[in-house]
Amino acid sequence: MGPDAYRTAGLEAALGALGHTVTERGNVAATPAKTADSPAPHLHQPHETIGWTAALADATELAAKDGMPILLGGALTSTTTTWTIARESEA
């Protein structure tokens, strides 16, 4: 169910009831990165991971211009995106 589970559970309305302004931006779509083969064969689907990290970083950077973005998900790609955005904001 992914992100739709948060919508079904009514998270936006619950946060709104607490006084928070919520902007629903929908699902993020990603395309596997077109990079050279991974030098580390133990990495699982590196092209997909790179693609998702880039897509989430772009969406998060765009959302950050309007407020504080919050990424909800269970994949470590979300964490990688947070590091990417934090690093770029320090530059």
Q: Where are the domains of the chain?
A: 28-90
CA distance 30 to 11: 24
Say what the pLDDT of residue 83 is: 61
How does pLDDT run across 24-40, given as a tens digit for each residue?
888 888 888 887 676 67
CA distance 21 to 49: 31
Region for 43 from its dihedrals, namely left if φ exceeds 0, alpha if ψ lies in -120 to 50, beta otherwise: beta
Say what the pLDDT of residue 11 is: 92
Q: Which stretches of the chain score pLDDT less than 50?
A: none
Say what the pLDDT of residue 89 is: 65
Nearest to 50 by CA among 29, 71, 77, 75: 77
| Angle value at C-alpha 15, between 13 and 17, nearest 5 degrees | 70
